[in-house]
Structure 1
Amino acid sequence: MAVTIKDVAKHAGVSVSTVSKVLNDWKTISQETKDRVHASILALNYTPNARAVSFARGTTRNIIYLTALAEGEAYRNPHMFDIMCGVFTNLARQGYTMTMMDISDDEHPRETVAEIIARKSADGVVIHGSVINQEIANLIIDHEFPHIVIGHPEFDNRLCWVDTNHLLAGQYAADYLVNHDVSPVSFIGGRRNELISKERERGFRAVLLKHHKKISPEYVIHTNSTWQEGYDAVRQLLAMQEPPKAIVCENNTIAVGAARALAELGIRVPEDLFFLTFDIYPYTSILDPQPTVVDINVYDMGLQAADMIVRKIENPSLMIQSYTTLPRVITL
């Protein structure tokens, strides 16, 4: 049976807390006590674990990643896992562990977060935007608990968050088409009230207006982000009296349907029409014809989120609300 810190404490005739303080070289512990504890460590051949070493520091060196992990989540939200890998990698470099916690099925997710805070089972939390709500936000703010939310919350808050700049991504898409002197252009978006789609469309429109290439209403189609609606939208656009010379799909799922329609119609890309979408995952690499992609390196965003949560732990009063990682245009 492995020797524990309790065994060392008993052998040395001191408390577990005292052993932890000796391991952390507290100056308030007498040299005599230190010598006795070190003698017990040698006698028992005890190897301190990270939890024992951090006990006296009042830290766990652990970060909890709160997210939704229901069946099929990897397909619905593939970017979450790239972000999570970035967070994990950078935390490990800085001597932290990361624990994943699924709260998608919790009837009362606020209670789960309250238990994390009360039990001090982590030094901080990284919260995926899909599971944040006002109750959880109020709880961690009231307790001044170190946190970083992945994604800009859609409600007023004093939360710390990091996000990609979807407005800027839309601007990059428009810049690409303006630089190729393409007109008219079209935009197939998600639902009108969907934040990411709205921001990408807004950035796209702003650059076109700047270059006096206003996009007419008939060239903008909103969908429920299904491949079938992407397919139908492209067929509708290309049946117009003056069809667009470029089609921009707000997400990969819409682009799947768009690519199918373009292939059926024998449209060559980019010779006959420019075809763009956002985000390289999950489908762009297998589409035919292949689109130009405005991508954001979400793994890098995870790396930066890890740096931010460590800074927040070191300075709990620090306010972090940041857009990070510039988009890049990729021609596949």
Structure 2
Amino acid sequence: MAVTISDVAKEAGVSTSTVSKVLNNWSSISPATCERVHEAIKKLHYTPNARAVSFAKGASHNILFLSSLKKEEAYRNPHMFDILCGVRRTLAEHGYTLMLTDFPDTAEPQEYLTGLIGKGLADGILIHGSCSFPQLSRLLTESRFPHIHIGHPGPGSRMCWIDTNNGLAGQFAAQHMLECGYEKVAFIGERRTDHISTQRLNGFLGGMYDYGYRVPDEYIRYTDSTREDACRQTHEVLSLPVPPRAFICENNTLALGVVKALHERQLQIPDEAAFLTFDSYPYSSIIDPTPTVIDIDVYDLGVQAAQMLLRKLENPTLLVQAYTTLPVLRQGLSTVLAF
């Protein structure tokens, strides 16, 4: 039969609460009592239960990760899992476990989140941007529960957040296109309401403007986020009286549609039409030719999100609001530098 804390207390001649205080290094316990307790622990070969010790300290050493986990989520939001892997490894290195929980499909998700916080299941929470809702900022700031929101929550938010600089990624795309000598550049984006697509578009437009180029409105195309619509939009913009020489694709799915349209038009890439895309995952390896990519290490984003949450746990008054993980250009065969 396993030795319990009650057995240790009986052997040492103290109460179980005293044994618990000794295990948690309470300064109010006399050195003599501490010595008796430790001698009893050694004699009985008692191993404290880590969960019980954490509970006594008022900490669970567990972190919640709230995200949407619906069917086919891996296809709709592939980067979330790389972020999750970075988070898990970093927390494990600091002795924390990670509990993945699904965003509830209810009209009042704040009640679900309030319940999770109130149960004391975790010391903090990481919230993927796919789980934002109007009451989230108020709930977290009023409860003062340690948190990091992965993704910019919007202007004026008092939440702690971390995000990649998608606007800067758009600027990098503009700079590369101009370095290649492509002055007429179209942007194939997602829906108008997509936050990341809008950030990348604004960065691209700003980057072009900084070098003295204005992108015509008809060169900016929004899609329903499918390859088929990206293909259709590309055909339309190529039919303009002055068609673009190059395309910036907001993601790999849209890049597949753009490439399909260029092949259907029998345009040689990159000699007659060039393109680049953001992110090296999930389809860049099967796009022909190998695309030039503005890439962001989202695994590193997860690492840094976890590190910031750990800092928040050490200093609850810390306000974390930061961009991190700079974009990197990966030259492929879909653009060619001018010489």
TM-score class normalised by the smaller sequence: over 0.9
Distance 1:315 1:84 in 2: 23
Deviates more, 1:317-326 or 1:188-197: 188-197
Please name the residue that 1:125 is paired with.
Answer: 125
Amino acid across the alignment from 2:35: D
Q: Give how far 1:4 is off.
A: 4.6
Please name the residue that 1:299 is paired with.
Answer: 299
Distance 1:164 1:115 in 2: 30
Give the direction of change, closer, same or farther, for the CA distance of 1:89–1:107 in structure 2 (3 Å limit). same
Distance 1:5 1:266 in 2: 77
Matches within 5 A, 1:180-195: 180-195=180-195
Please name the residue that 1:279 is paired with.
Answer: 279
Deviates more, 1:295-304 or 1:46-55: 46-55
Q: Is 1:54 matched up with 2:54?
A: yes
Q: Give how far 1:301 is off.
A: 0.9
Amino acid across the alignment from 1:66: L
Matches within 5 A, 1:144-293: 144-154=144-154, 156-293=156-293
Distance 2:16 2:298 in 1: 42
Please name the residue that 1:309 is paired with.
Answer: 309
Q: Secondary structure of the equivalent of 1:191?
A: coil
Please name the residue that 2:69 is paired with.
Answer: 69
Deviates more, 1:164-173 or 1:153-162: 153-162
Cα contact 1:134–1:155 (8 A) shared by 2: no
Give the direction of change, closer, same or farther, for the CA distance of 1:14–1:140 in structure 2 (3 Å limit). farther
Q: Give how far 1:220 is off.
A: 1.5
Give the % identical residues.
50
Distance 2:181 2:227 in 1: 28
Give the direction of change, closer, same or farther, for the CA distance of 1:240–1:107 in structure 2 (3 Å limit). closer
Cα contact 1:5–1:52 (8 A) shared by 2: no
Deviates more, 1:249-258 or 1:111-120: 111-120
1:144-169 CA-to-partner distances (Å, cap 9, x unmatched) read 11100001113642100001111111
Q: Give how far 1:16 is off.
A: 4.7
Amino acid across the alignment from 1:87: V
Q: Give how far 1:326 is off.
A: 0.5
- Which segments of 5 or more consecutive residues in structure 2 lack a partner in the other structure? 333-339
Deviates more, 1:260-269 or 1:301-310: 260-269
Amino acid across the alignment from 1:246: A
Give the direction of change, closer, same or farther, for the CA distance of 1:103–1:62 in structure 2 (3 Å limit). same
Deviates more, 1:267-276 or 1:168-177: 267-276
Q: Secondary structure of the equivalent of 1:39?
A: helix
Q: Give the TM-score normalised by the residue count of structure 2.
A: 0.90
Q: Give how far 1:6 is off.
A: 5.4
Q: Give the TM-score normalised by the residue count of structure 1.
A: 0.92
Give the direction of change, closer, same or farther, for the CA distance of 1:307–1:33 in structure 2 (3 Å limit). same
Cα contact 2:262–2:273 (8 A) shared by 1: no
Q: Give how far 1:11 is off.
A: 5.5
Q: Give how far 1:312 is off.
A: 0.9
Give the direction of change, closer, same or farther, for the CA distance of 1:15–1:131 in structure 2 (3 Å limit). farther
Q: Give how far 1:12 is off.
A: 4.7
Q: Give how far 1:82 is off.
A: 0.8
1:182-206 CA-to-partner distances (Å, cap 9, x unmatched) read 1211111122232211111111111
Give the direction of change, closer, same or farther, for the CA distance of 1:15–1:77 in structure 2 (3 Å limit). farther
Q: Secondary structure of the equivalent of 1:134?
A: coil
Distance 2:6 2:288 in 1: 63
Q: Is 1:143 matched up with 2:143?
A: yes
Distance 1:107 1:16 in 2: 46
Across the aligned residues of Structure 1 and Structure 2, the Cα RMSD in angstroms comes to 2.1
Amino acid across the alignment from 2:24: N
Cα contact 2:186–2:246 (8 A) shared by 1: yes
Q: Give how far 1:71 is off.
A: 1.5
Distance 1:283 1:240 in 2: 29
Give the direction of change, closer, same or farther, for the CA distance of 1:119–1:18 in structure 2 (3 Å limit). farther
Q: Give how far 1:9 is off.
A: 4.6
Q: Secondary structure of the equivalent of 2:130?
A: coil
Q: Give how far 1:93 is off.
A: 1.6
